[in-house]
Chains A and B, each alone.
Chain A
Amino acid sequence: MRGLVRWSSKWWPGTIPLAVLWALAVWNSTSPLETELAGRSTAALKDILLDKSRITVSGRDVTLAADAFSEEGRRSAVAAIEAVPGVRLVNDETRLIPEAMPFVWSAERDVVRVTLTGSSPLPASKGKLLEAARADLGGVEVVDQTSLSRGAPSRFDEVALLLLDQVAKLKDGKVTISDTKVSLSGMARELGGREAIAAALKNLPAGFSVASNEIKAPPYIFQANKDPVALTLTLTGNVPDNNVHAAIVAAASRKFFSEKVVDNLKPSLGAPSGFANAAVPALGALSRLSTGTLVVSDREVKLSGDALYDAVPGQLRANLIKDLPQGWQLKADISVKPAAAPVDATVCQQLFSEVLAKGTIRFESARSSLDPDSAGLLDHLVEIALRCPTTNIEVAGHTDTDGDNAANQTLSEKRAQAVVDYLVKAGLPAARFTAIGYGSTQPAAANDTDDGKARNRRIEFLVKEQP
C-alpha cells in the first residue's frame, strides 16, 4: 500500500494524454448522446397525453415544454423522463392548458363552410369532431378554430357529434354547447328538417338540456294552377301525409268539373296546423275562377286570377276568410274576365248542354241545398246565361225513382229553385228563369242500376227566345 502511494506521485504525466482523450470524447460524443437521450425521452412520453410537447436536450439535461390536460398528467410526464437512463435533470416547463368557464363549443354553418369554434377537451376529440364534420357534411369546407381547454362536461364528444349531425340538416345556422346547455339556431335545409332536428335532440345524453332551439324551416308551399286552355289543374308542392294528399286530390276532382288534375304533390313534414282545412276551401275558390293560381305558403293563402262575372271576387273573399282556420291570412288579387260576345238562343242552349254533359250540379244527399263543390260549374252556367240576355231559361229538376213520388216531385222543384236562386244571386234577372220539378217522371236512363239512377238525378237548362 505504501508502494501505491509512492508510485501514484509519478502517475501525473499520463494526465496529459488523458486530457486529450477527454477532449476528443467530449468533441465526439456530445451530439450523439443528446440525440440518443432525446429519442428515449420522446419514446417515454408516448402514452402520456400532452399537447405541443417539445423536448430539448443539453448534455444530459432534458427540457420538457408541453401543455398538459391535468396536474397528474403533467407530473407523470416529468417522472417518465426522469426515469430515462442517462438523463441527469429534467427542466419542467410544462403548463396546464387553461380551464374554460363556461366550456363553450360551437359549429357555425354559412353558405360555403362550417366553422368550429370555442373549446375542445382533448386533441383526440378535436380530431374526431373535425373528422366527423367532414364526413357528415360531405364536400363542405370545415374550418377548425377550436382551442384545447379543460373543463368539458362529461360525454361532451357524444353531444358534439350529435349536434354535428344536425348541422348537416341546416342550410345555415349555429349550434352551441355551453357546459350542459345546447342551443341551436338557423334555417333547416329541407321541409321537415326542423322536426327531424327536434326529434334528434331527444337523444341528448342525460344531464344535457336544450336551452333554445330556434331552427326555422323553409316556407311550406302548396300550389295549384288552373289552366283553362290546356284544361288542367296542376297541383305542386307539399302535403303533410298520404291521407291529406288523397283528400286534396279527391276534392280537386269534385270541384273542377272539366279540368284534368295533374298531381305533382309530395308528402313532407312541417305543414302548418289546419293545412287541409285551408287548402280544400282555397281550391274551391280557385275552381270559381276562369284562370288562376293558388299559393299556400305557410299560413298565407294567395289567390289570384280572373273571375267569370262581377259578383265573384266579393263572394270569394267573404267565403274564404270565413272558411280559413284561425291564424291564417288571405291575399286575394282577383279581377273579372271581360264579358264574352253575346250569342243567340241556339248557341246558348248548346253551351249549357256541353257544360252539363261534363259536370253534374250536386246537392246534399236527399236535400235541396247546393253542394259547395258545384260552385265552379254553376259559375260557368252563370257566365253562359249572361251571354244570351234576350232569352228565358227553364231550369228543370229531375230525380230517380227511389222514395215516393210526391217527395221526389217536391225535391226536384226545390232543387231547381235552388239553382235559380244561385243564378239570381249572381246578378241575373229573376224574370228570365222558371224553376220546374219533374220528379222521376222523365228518366234519362233506366232506374235499375246505381249508374242509371245517378244519371237521372239531374238539372237541365232549356233556353227559349223571349217572346
Chain B
Amino acid sequence: MTFLATFHWGWLLATLLLGFAMGWIAVVHRGHGVSKHLARWLAALVAALLAAALARLVPGRPGYWLDLGLLMFALYLIGCGIGSWLRDRVLPGPASAG
C-alpha cells in the first residue's frame, strides 16, 4: 500500500482534491441524492470488490487495476467527507439545514 501511495501520489492527490471539491459542493447541492435502497446495493458492490481485492482473487493487470480503483475510491470518499464537513463548518448556522 505504501508503495502504491508513493508511486501514484499524483493521481491519488488529484482524487483527494476531486473528492474535496465534490464534498464541498454536495452540502449546498439541491439535486437528487442516491436512494437508500440503491446506496445499499452500491455498498454491497464495493464490499464485494474490496473482498476480491483483499483475497487477491483477480490475477495480473486487472487485479492491479482493481487495487488502484479501490484505493482511489477510498481517497475520493475521504476527500468528500473532509470537503462536506469543512463547508458545513464554514456556512452560517441554520443555512446548513438546506
Complex contact B23–A25 (CB within 8 A): no
- Residues of A within 8 Å of B94, CB to CB, are none
- Residues of A within 8 Å of B21, CB to CB, are 14
Write out, one digit per residue, whether chain A residues 24-56 have a CB within 8 A of any chain B CB (1) or not (0).
Answer: 111001100100100000000000000000000
Taken together as a complex, chains A and B put the C-alpha atoms of A14 and B62 apart, in Å, by 23
Contact count band on A: 20 to 34
- Residues of A within 8 Å of B4, CB to CB, are 86
- Residues of B within 8 Å of A89, CB to CB, are 56, 59, 63
Q: Chain B interface: which of A58-66, A205-213, A373-381?
A: A58-66
Complex contact A59–B11 (CB within 8 A): no
Taken together as a complex, chains A and B put the C-alpha atoms of A15 and B79 apart, in Å, by 12
Taken together as a complex, chains A and B put the C-alpha atoms of A18 and B26 apart, in Å, by 15
Complex contact B84–A59 (CB within 8 A): no
Question: Given A3-B84, A25-B72, A36-B7, are A61 and B22 also a contact pair (CB < 8 Å)?
Answer: no
Complex contact B34–A59 (CB within 8 A): no
A 189-243 contacts with B by CB, 8 A = none
Q: Is A407 an interface residue (CB 8 A)?
A: no
Question: Given A4-B81, A4-B85, A7-B84, are A33 and B7 also a contact pair (CB < 8 Å)?
Answer: yes
- Residues of B within 8 Å of A8, CB to CB, are 26, 80-81, 84
Question: Given A10-B29, A18-B76, A61-B60, are A26 and B18 also a contact pair (CB < 8 Å)?
Answer: no
- Residues of A within 8 Å of B63, CB to CB, are 59-61, 88-89
B 19-37 contacts with A by CB, 8 A = 19, 21-23, 26-27, 29, 31, 33-35
Complex contact B64–A18 (CB within 8 A): no
Residue of A7, A59, A86 touching B60 (CB-CB under 8 A): A59
Residue of B60, B68, B80 touching A58 (CB-CB under 8 A): B60
> What 3 A-B pairs come out closest when comparing CB atoms?
A9-B33, A59-B64, A14-B22
Contact sample, A vs B, 20 pairs, CB 8 Å cutoff: A3-B84, A7-B88, A10-B29, A11-B80, A14-B22, A14-B80, A15-B73, A17-B18, A18-B18, A21-B72, A22-B69, A25-B11, A25-B72, A29-B7, A30-B61, A30-B64, A59-B63, A59-B64, A61-B64, A88-B64
